Amino acid sequence: MQEHDTSWVRTEMALAQPAPASVRGMGAWVRTNLIGSVGDAILTIIGIALVVMILPQVINWAFINAQWTGPDRSVCATVAQGGIQADGWSGACWAFVNAKFGQFMFGTYPIEERWRPILVAVLFVALLVPMLIPRVPRKGLNAILLFLVLPIVSFVLLVGGMFGLPHVETSRWGGLLVTLSLSFVGIAVSLPLGVVLALGRRSKMPIVKMLCIIFIETVRGIPLITVLFFVSVMLPLFLPAGVTFDKYLRALIGVSLFAAAYMAEVIRGGLQAIPKGQYEGADSLGLGYWQKMGLIVLPQALKLVIPGIVNTFIGMFKDTSLVIIISMFDLLGIVKQNFSDANWATPQTARSGLIFAAFVFWLFCFGMSRYSMYTERRLDTGHKR
């Protein structure tokens, strides 16, 4: 081709070729991600060094030196501390968790009645798992069973006092039972309530809008501890004499309303991200307000804010620990309460108990997080490139 030749015609279209080896495979990944530059390489080396230094100690403490079973504190204490371990021994005291496992799960729920929360847990899992798997049919029926029937059945089973079941005071509930039941009700109530509040806040009706704003801003502006205090200490003052509210129920209401206020703002963020054209498209077809919201706007808005919604769920799940402020013992509360058991008091007890509690919390939160990511991918029809 000449230097100033401006006329040229391609005679054959170029064919697509495989990418060069430098951008494919393991070697390319290491080059770009681990040793991309001098700084990257240094950070990689520091990272590997930290793992090499810390990981063996953790494994040693948590698994190799750990005591898994035992009757009392002696298995987790050195000779000097009145136990059987050699001086200088350090390991996790899983024997403590093992011995107290029932309490961690159910609090002081009577042992002979513990089949009731176990049955509730089994029912819960049996209904939740098919709900979470998209392929399983009959989602509507499943949802009714999970969100309407199960709470009623659980209430009857857990509280008792009818159908020949002995009554169990909610003050005897504790552990994971409290954590999970508070969270489940909180999630099941806060999402629909949050949707209603978010729609209300964007409503054109001034009174509805004002009520929603007042609720959201009031609840959001107050720490959860204060809300819990309020419902447990102050609420009885406003109720007529003789009307008493169960403490657990009060915590349930407090947590649910609190989460709903946060949820409303998360969902409002999603609603704002839906282009006006979607509303107009729905309007132009003659869809009514609820059809437009339920079929067009909310499915898209909720999908957009799945990370925010799950963030709120996870936050609420962990915040249930604050019910300790109204002397209810959730998982963390009951673990901490057991530190003072003289039978198990060793230097390793608190550490082991807290790590166990943290692990259980993490397990549930991580599960929620992974499931939300799966859902996001599944619902992604945008095909954004």
Partner 1 sequence: MATENAVSAEEIKVNAAKMQISTTDVAIDIIAMHKWYGEFHVLKDINLKVMRGERIVICGPSGSGKSTMIRCINRLEEHQKGKIIVDGKELTNDLKKIDEVRREVGMVFQHFNLFPHLTILENCTLAPIWVRKTPKKQADEIAMHFLKRVKIPEQANKYPGQLSGGQQQRVAIARSLCMNPRIMLFDEPTSALDPEMIKEVLETMVGLAEEGMTMLCVTHEMGFARKVANRVIFMDQGQIVEQNTPAEFFDHPRHERTKLFLSQILH
Site residues (CB under 8 A) for partner 1?
Answer: 277-278, 280-288, 291, 295-296, 299-300, 303, 379, 381-384
Residue 242 or 275: which CB sits closer to partner 1? 275
Helix (H) or strand (E) holding 329: strand 329-330
Residue 20 or 286: which CB sits closer to partner 1? 286
Residue 183 or 300: which CB sits closer to partner 1? 300
Residue 68 or 374: which CB sits closer to partner 1? 374
CB of 282 to partner 1, least distance (A): 8
Cβ distance 97 to 348 under 8 Å? no
Amino acid at 66: A
CB of 96 to partner 1, least distance (A): 50
Residue 4 or 384: which CB sits closer to partner 1? 384
The partner residues of 339 in beta bridges, in order of sequence, read none
| Phi, psi dihedral angles at 382 (to 5 degrees) | -70, -30
Residues in the chain: 385
Residue 305 or 332: which CB sits closer to partner 1? 305
**Residue 58 burial (10 A CB sphere; 0-12, 13-18, 19+):** exposed
Cβ distance 61 to 92 under 8 Å? yes
CB of 203 to partner 1, least distance (A): 15
Residue 71 or 382: which CB sits closer to partner 1? 382
CB of 300 to partner 1, least distance (A): 5
Buried b (16+ CB within 10 A) or exposed e, 352-384: bbebbbeebbeebbeebbeebeeeeeeeeeeee
CB of 290 to partner 1, least distance (A): 10
CB of 384 to partner 1, least distance (A): 7
CB of 375 to partner 1, least distance (A): 13
Residue 4 or 276: which CB sits closer to partner 1? 276
Residue 82 or 294: which CB sits closer to partner 1? 294
What letter would DSSP give residue 9? -
CB of 137 to partner 1, least distance (A): 16
CA gap 247, 225 in Å, rounded: 14
What letter would DSSP give residue 70? -
Cβ distance 187 to 151 under 8 Å? no
Alpha helices in the chain (DSSP H): 25-33, 38-59, 94-106, 115-132, 139-144, 150-159, 175-201, 206-220, 224-229, 235-238, 247-272, 276-284, 289-291, 298-304, 306-319, 331-339, 347-379
CB of 270 to partner 1, least distance (A): 13
Helix (H) or strand (E) holding 330: strand 329-330
Cβ distance 232 to 251 under 8 Å? yes
Residue 199 or 296: which CB sits closer to partner 1? 296
**Token pair for 197:** 């509040």
All residues at 6 or more sequence positions from 322 whose CB lies less than 8 Å from its CB, including other chains? 224, 225, 228
CB of 228 to partner 1, least distance (A): 38
